[in-house]
Amino acid sequence: MERKHFLKSLFAGAITAPALLTACGKDDVTPSSTTTTTTTGGTTTTSSGSCTVIPTETEGPYPTHTPSSYVRSDIREDRTGYALTIKINVTNTAANCAALSGALVDIWHCDKDGNYSEYASGLTNVHFLRGRQTTDTNGQVTFTSIFPGWYQGRATHIHVHIFTSSGTSLKIAQIAFPEGTGSAVLAVNGYSKGLTGYTYYTKDNIFNDDSTGSEIATVTGTTTDGFVLTITLPVAA
């Protein structure tokens, strides 16, 4: 090879080498505060550094569409208490009170100690005592749960929120329990809490304006065999 060609090739090498050496220098990989978040899942990391290793492994997961974790009939999770089957019938006042099928019904209530589930923080807990079902052709949904406890200031109740099949809210309501002699509320007796300090239906500030008692469900059963609650909720759909 001619000497000048040889020298040229040397220079070429000399110029490019230092650039390579600094590419992965310490300074380049300091996390910056102005980061664009490239949230493209399993094969990239959110990084501004030029040298962050990206995951190189079998791509995944390949998820299938999963219904909301709330769509379930058995809402007990780890909560214990007297068995309660909840049957709700939804009717449509705009259609002569015919059964309303395809409606979403969300219910939630407190556990035997009067506590509601709050945040989903672990993979095994979703929200105890909270669930969603769609009404069948008879306008009915059924849930398997436990008899609610009670908390300061409120009578025993179950929250309910009814939506159309496309998710428009139709009704936000609360279901009350009978409290007379021989009633389930008295039989359950607030579990270990008893009923001292309990707010009865007539004193409850949510229910006490309902003179027709339309919010009161029918509750049958015993502590040994479990209870069944039934109620019809009319909505204007």
Partner 1 sequence: MQPRRIILCYRKLLDAQAVHPWDKLVVSDSYRELRLQAQYFNPQNQYRTFGELLYHVPAAERLHGLVGGAVVGYLRQLNGLVPDVADNLGRRFLKFENFRFELINSDLHDPSQHRVAINFFTEPLFWHESIPPFLLVSTTEPEATSGEQLTHLLQLQPFLSIHALLPSAP
Q: Which residues bind partner 1 (CB under 8 A)?
A: 26, 29-32, 35, 37, 39-49, 51-57, 61-63, 65-70, 104, 106, 118-123, 126-127, 130, 161, 163, 167-169, 172
Question: Distance between CA atoms of 179 and 189, rounded to whole angstroms?
Answer: 11
Residue 49's CB: how many other CB atoms inside 10 A? Answer: 15
Task: Indicate the residue among 95 and 120 with the shorter CB distance to partner 1.
Answer: 120
CB 107 within 8 A of CB 159: yes
Please, what is the minimum distance in Å from the beta carbon of residue 58 to partner 1?
10
| Residue among 44, 112, 43, 51 at smallest CA distance from 76 | 112
Question: Distance between CA atoms of 134 and 229, rounded to whole angstroms?
Answer: 18
Task: Indicate the residue among 112 and 132 with the shorter CB distance to partner 1.
Answer: 132
Direct distance between the N- and C-terminal alpha carbons of the chain, in angstroms, rounded to an integer: 90
Task: Indicate the residue among 11 and 119 with the shorter CB distance to partner 1.
Answer: 119
Task: Indicate the residue among 169 and 202 with the shorter CB distance to partner 1.
Answer: 169
Residue 84's CB: how many other CB atoms inside 10 A? Answer: 22
Structure tokens at 92: 């449509």
Task: Indicate the residue among 16 and 121 with the shorter CB distance to partner 1.
Answer: 121
Please, what is the minimum distance in Å from the beta carbon of residue 70 to partner 1?
6
Please, what is the minimum distance in Å from the beta carbon of residue 51 to partner 1?
8
| Residue among 153, 50, 162, 191 at smallest CA distance from 100 | 162
Please, what is the minimum distance in Å from the beta carbon of residue 170 to partner 1?
10
Q: What is the DSSP letter of 78?
A: T
Task: Indicate the residue among 157 and 190 with the shorter CB distance to partner 1.
Answer: 157
Please, what is the minimum distance in Å from the beta carbon of residue 174 to partner 1?
12
- Beta strand 157-163 pairing with 140-146: unpaired
Q: What is the DSSP letter of 135?
A: -
Please, what is the minimum distance in Å from the beta carbon of residue 65 to partner 1?
6
Please, what is the minimum distance in Å from the beta carbon of residue 53 to partner 1?
5
CB 199 within 8 A of CB 58: no
Task: Indicate the residue among 9 and 134 with the shorter CB distance to partner 1.
Answer: 134
CB 102 within 8 A of CB 165: yes
